[in-house]
Structure 1
Amino acid sequence: MCGRGDQSLTFSEICELSGAIGAPTTNLEPCYNIAPTTTVHIVRLRDGERVIEKATWDLVPSWWKQPLSEKKFRTHNARAETLQEKATFRSAWKKSQRCIIPMNFFEWKRPRKKGDPPHYIYPAKEPAFRMAGLWDEWKDPETGEIHLTCTTITCEPNDFMAELHDRMPVILGADQLDAWFNAPPEIAVEMLKPCPSEWMAAHKVNAYVNDARNQGPDCIKPEGDLFE
């Protein structure tokens, strides 16, 4: 699964990748080591326009009425094969609450051993992947505050990713974005498949990234090739 990411992008780069509009209104300070429940930038539709917003990478469904401390399960990934049936995701899917998460990611080769460094996965020709995601808004019953949360949709791996893991994020091309944001669910579901292998590149990085508290460019610094 996709459980660690890198979002070291500028506002302009996200706009170019996603077609988002508007002036930057949030701090886009690079985050080189994103873990579940931390903040990411997503692009979603608001009043018919694509906008960049901050969201927690761990979806909390709108129907969740308990304090967040009572949520004992991770929802930063949603399996493409089951999201239409799973209670956590099906409402967001039916309501077409789709987003993209412009992010690259880390993956540890299976079988993973303690202390093994991961590989950094990134696009061959662009600054970041357009990961398909869902968003939802949850109201904190204790404070009344509304929280925007999101999840990354995963699918079976393409040939490239199969060397590392049995899952991968759904990655969209620029020509798929109009349909992703606007098509009805029965059409959008056909897009939940692995991207072409030639879209992807990777290199091994240092075990420094294994600790989610570590940040900075060293997290993505090459330490070797993909298939060493």
Structure 2
Amino acid sequence: MFPSADRTGNHPWPAEAYPDRLAPIIRSGDDGPEIVQARWGMPTPPQYLPASGRDSGVTNIRNTSSPHWRRWIAPAHRCLVPIEAFSEPGKDRKPVWFEPARGEPMMFAGIEVRGWTSIRKVRDGETTDDLFGFLTCPPNAEVGAVHPKAMPVILRADEWQTWMSAPWDVAKMLQRPLPDGTLRILE
């Protein structure tokens, strides 16, 4: 599953991705998979928006049975987020980085929405953006030792196509931690 079109506009990929910033995702396009830049942070459920209406976005999605997320779990809204490593906050709040133990390619299981209008930053006013977030699940042993609450849903190469195209009753089975021993702390 490789993108047939690069729609990033020759923008360099960021070395690190942060919430509310652009990052590359692979999504379904009119002519097959395409790679684009999207803003990290899906729309916040309305009941959690502040009175100002500013929506800082939701970066991680765990409860896919929520009515707010159900509208975006179909294949048309699924995406892959390419990663080489990811971090979780350690005990001292400094990031602890994880990478695949055997160097295999991995991607986060994401969902995306195109052309969402909201106020992300008051100084920018209303903007219309393509947005994404990724699913989380309970942690495996390596991540759980640092962050016992959750970890991103990480897909291996043989799962990418299933995530992007399978019916939800099949794709939802991928919302689970990687097996213990498949990640290591990046020194």
After TM superposition, is the score higher than 0.5? yes
Matched residue, 2:80: 100
The alpha-carbon deviation at position 138 of structure 1 amounts to 3.6
1:150 and 1:30 map into 2 onto residues whose CA distance is: 16
Query: Which one of 118, 129, 148 corresponds to residue 130 of structure 2?
Result: 148
Q: Note if contact 1:158-1:195 (Cα within 8 Å) is conserved in structure 2.
A: yes
Amino acid paired to 2:96: H
Amino acid paired to 2:112: W
2:142 and 2:113 map into 1 onto residues whose CA distance is: 31
Q: Does 2:102 match 1:125? A: yes
Amino acid paired to 2:185: A
Query: Which one of 14, 34, 59 corresponds to residue 51 of structure 1?
Result: 34
Percent identity, aligned pairs only, is 23
Matched residue, 1:85: 66
The alpha-carbon deviation at position 120 of structure 1 amounts to 1.2
Query: Which one of 19, 25, 28 corresponds to residue 2 of structure 2?
Result: 19
Note closer, same or farther for the CA distance 1:26–1:132 as it changes in structure 2 (3 Å cut): same
Secondary structure, aligned partner of 1:120 = strand
Secondary structure, aligned partner of 2:15 = strand
The alpha-carbon deviation at position 170 of structure 1 amounts to 0.4
Q: Does 2:162 match 1:179? A: yes
Secondary structure, aligned partner of 1:32 = coil
Secondary structure, aligned partner of 1:198 = coil
Structure with the bigger percentage of helix: 1
Unaligned runs of 5+ in 2: 120-124
- What is the root-mean-square deviation in Å for CA atoms of aligned residues? 2.8
Unaligned runs of 5+ in 1: 1-17, 204-221, 223-228
Q: Note if contact 1:96-1:185 (Cα within 8 Å) is conserved in structure 2.
A: no
Question: How many aligned residue pairs are there?
Answer: 175
The alpha-carbon deviation at position 32 of structure 1 amounts to 2.8
The alpha-carbon deviation at position 57 of structure 1 amounts to 0.3
The alpha-carbon deviation at position 98 of structure 1 amounts to 0.7
Note closer, same or farther for the CA distance 1:133–1:23 as it changes in structure 2 (3 Å cut): closer
Amino acid paired to 2:66: E
Secondary structure, aligned partner of 1:101 = strand
Secondary structure, aligned partner of 1:176 = helix
2:131 and 2:183 map into 1 onto residues whose CA distance is: 27
Amino acid paired to 1:44: R
Amino acid paired to 1:123: P
Q: Note if contact 1:93-1:134 (Cα within 8 Å) is conserved in structure 2.
A: yes
2:57 and 2:6 map into 1 onto residues whose CA distance is: 33
Matched residue, 2:59: 76
The alpha-carbon deviation at position 95 of structure 1 amounts to 5.9
Structure with the bigger percentage of strand: 2
